[in-house]
Amino acid sequence: MAALKLDRWNVAIGEGQPLAVIAGLNVLEDADLALRVGRELKTICADLGLPYVFKASFDKANRSSIKSYRGPGLEVGLEILRQVKTELNVPICSDIHEVEQAAPLATVVDVLQIPAFLCRQTDLVVASARAIHKAGGWLHVKKGQFLAPWDAKNIVSKIKEATDDAEFTILCERGVSFGYNNLIVDMLGFAEMKKLGVPVTIDATHAVQLPGADPRTGGASTGGRREGVAVIAKSAVAAGADGVFLEFHPDPDKALCDAPSCLPLDGARELLTTLKALHQVVNGQTAAA
């Protein structure tokens, strides 16, 4: 598996590369918060020598309740993401939900992300692949909670058939449904997905979700086990993950979306330092002085 590179940003992921970090907010709340979180994570990753991509969703279309906060929407969301990109000078990752969003998103984001529940929507995968490939970016596809690791080969095949190329694709593990209101991560799955010739990341934040099981809302929203995020992230890096996907907030309990699963921003440095060290050990890389 060769490494993927975003030449404009001097960012890479895959074989022989440092641990890639795709991190930020679950969903955009306002520009000031996005800039605060992005600035802190950029500083930490720069200090650690880790490639960094800022992530935030402009819309969380898959919500347990119609009353749940979804985000500012495409138009306002893209303006905030463009502001973060310009002021912080970082590449951007955000989700796509509809085919019509592919073209406008590709003008701003560098990493276009397909949510897990939509990874088998052929029209969306094809439109996303073509748009971000033309723009010279990466496609980050979350493997559905209903798929085995080896089933991801069909995702990669669609992308290759749509663009005559798949060497801009990253697969992301985010857990598999295990009975009711629970997810598990099969650590053997990272090696299986990497056999497909693509880098693989871990979405440790969403892997600790408890779908439809937030006791605060009587099941009207998703619960989570924040204390498990670091466990999943460290285990996945030890199992061969090429990158980590993490969501932070200065005050996680007040986050407007998936609060039980996001991490406190003031703990980011310690966790990323540990993950870097693990990745270096696993990949036989020499630790920085």
DSSP collapsed to 3 states, 16-58: CCCCEEEEEEEECCCHHHHHHHHHHHHHHHHHHCCCEEEEEEC
pTM higher than 0.85: yes
- pLDDT of 223: 64
SS3 12: strand
pLDDT tens track for 109-126: 999 999 999 999 999 999
Examine residue 49 and state whether it is found in any structural domain, yes or no: yes
Examine residue 11 and state whether it is found in any structural domain, yes or no: no
If one counts the domains in the chain, the total is: 1
155: left (phi over 0), alpha (psi -120 to 50) or beta: alpha
Examine residue 238 and state whether it is found in any structural domain, yes or no: yes
Examine residue 264 and state whether it is found in any structural domain, yes or no: yes
Token output for 107: 């003008």
75: containing domain? 22-283
Examine residue 74 and state whether it is found in any structural domain, yes or no: yes
- pLDDT of 172: 98
Cα dihedral 205, 136, 18, 38, rounded to 10, equals -50
Q: Is residue 245's pLDDT more than 60? A: yes
Look at the block and give the residue holding tokens 């200065």: 250
HSE at residue 243, side-chain half, CA atoms within 13 A, is: 28
pLDDT tens track for 156-206: 999 999 999 999 999 999 999 988 888 899 999 999 999 999 999 999 999
Is 47 an annotated catalytic residue? no
The burial of 251, by beta-carbon neighbours within 10 Å (0-12 exposed, 13-18 middle, 19 or more buried), is given as: exposed
> What CATH number does residue 182 fall under?
3.20.20.70
Is 60 an annotated catalytic residue? yes
Q: Which of 42, 203, 258, 276 is catalytic?
A: 258
Which stretch of DSSP H or E encloses residue 4?
A: strand 4-6
Q: Is residue 217's pLDDT more than 70? A: no
Q: Which of 42, 55, 60, 234 is catalytic?
A: 60
Q: Which of 26, 203, 214, 242 is catalytic?
A: 26
Is 182 an annotated catalytic residue? no
Examine residue 208 and state whether it is found in any structural domain, yes or no: yes
- pLDDT of 233: 97
Examine residue 187 and state whether it is found in any structural domain, yes or no: yes
Examine residue 100 and state whether it is found in any structural domain, yes or no: yes
The burial of 205, by beta-carbon neighbours within 10 Å (0-12 exposed, 13-18 middle, 19 or more buried), is given as: buried
